Amino acid sequence: MILRKDKIEFPSYNLTTNDGIIALGGDLSEERLIYAYNNGIFPWFSEGDPIVWYCPHERMVLFPDQLKVSKSMRKVIKKNEFKITENKAFKEVIYNCKNITRSDGLGTWITGDMEKAYINLHQKGIAKSIEIWLNDELVGGLYGLEVNTIFCGESMFSKVSNASKLAFIHLARNKNYTLIDCQIYNEHLESLGAKEVDRNTFLNILKA
């Protein structure tokens, strides 16, 4: 389905492709993004391409009480070398998520329009960030959206070992979320306890 810019709607979940695509087009307005996330849908596309909206058949999620913290990460946390803040440098976090070089090739999918849209959502108190600092330098972090009691994670970055893991662990341990939405399968997040659930299970939790 090609979305109209003058009407905020999405087609039936039954029309989602095997790749998880539910619609194309539309815009990244505050109203559409909020509506999308409240219905388990998120944008993911490259600069210059039409907006692609996803609602995967299998959703990667973390139930906070199933968080796995390795022995090596427990040592990192115990050393207390890093400073952790919340919502103090959202623009810097999304900038680094957009521009950092990644071994998996992901990162450039955060377009300029997406960056502006999520900064706007942050200014409205909807998008949140976790920042990791080392010697007053921002070395890691993550950002996403709050939907009721669910944190919909968008992206994370790390300039030094374990920084993004530390941000994720802080999010799971220190915020009262019933679920952290990680969107699609990722080995890095699986090692921290995230797993795939079917879309209906995710949507039922989202809309509870």
- Which range has the worst mean pLDDT, 3-7, 76-80, 111-115? 3-7
Predicted local confidence at residue 107, as pLDDT: 47
8 A C-beta contact, residue 124 and residue 37? no
Q: What is the pTM of this model?
A: 0.93
37 pLDDT more than 80: yes
183 pLDDT higher than 50:
yes
The phi-psi region of residue 40 (left if phi > 0; otherwise alpha if psi is between -120 and 50; otherwise beta) is: left
> Taking 90 as the threshold, does the pLDDT of residue 4 lie above it?
no
What is the predicted pLDDT for the residue at 103? Answer: 61
What pLDDT does 102 receive?
61
Answer whether residue 74 shows pLDDT above 90.
yes
Higher per-residue pLDDT: 109 or 188: 188
For the chain, the three-class secondary structure string (H helix, E strand, C coil) is CEECCCCCCCCCHHHCCCCCEEEEECCCCHHHHHHHHHCCCEECCCCCCCCEEECCCEEEEECHHHCCCCHHHHHHHHHCCCEEEECCCHHHHHHHHHHCCCCCCCCCCCCHHHHHHHHHHHHCCCEEEEEEEECCEEEEEEEEEEECCEEEEEEEEECCCCHHHHHHHHHHHHCCCCEEEEECCCHHHHCCCCEEEEHHHHHHHHCC
Domain ranges across the chain: 2-57, 60-206
Q: Render pLDDT for 42-61 as a digit per residue (tens, 0 to 9).
A: 999 988 899 999 999 999 99
103-161 confidence digits (pLDDT tens): 655 545 799 999 999 999 999 999 999 999 999 999 999 999 999 999 999 999 999 99
pLDDT at 108 (0 to 100): 57
Spelled out in words, what is the top-level CATH class assigned to the domain 2-57?
Answer: alpha beta
Is residue 73 pLDDT above 90, yes or no?
Answer: yes
CATH class of the domain comprising 60-206: alpha beta
% of the chain exceeding 70 in pLDDT = 97
Which residue shows structure tokens 């330098």? 137
Region 12-26: what's the mean pLDDT?
96
